[in-house]
Amino acid sequence: TGSSTSDATQESIEKLQEQIKQTEKQLKQQQQQLAAAQNSSATAEEKAQKAMTIQAQISSTNATLSSQQAALVQLQASGGIDTTA
């Protein structure tokens, strides 16, 4: 077998790529929410509170995205899970 990527690995890679797309989409939506909150007619205090909440969500989404991308790179580099110790 060697460097050939198994079907299971390819399937895992595709699933991960799909999850990354979804996470990126979520991130974009959160960034739009943040812009909308900052441009709203709410009081400065309300804007700041809303912005902080959304920024916390963005941080969390960014962390998720980073770990998904790291897992994808690892999968692609290894060509699957190496079972040899």
3-state secondary structure 45-68: HHHHHHHHHHHHHHHHHHHHHHHH
Task: Give 16-59 pLDDT, tens digit per residue.
Answer: 999 999 999 999 999 999 999 999 999 999 999 999 999 999 99
Average pLDDT over residues 63-72: 97
Average pLDDT over residues 5-14: 87
pTM across the whole model: 0.81
Whether the CB-CB separation of 78 and 8 falls below 8 Å is answered with no
CA–CA gap between residue 76 and residue 48 (Å, rounded): 41
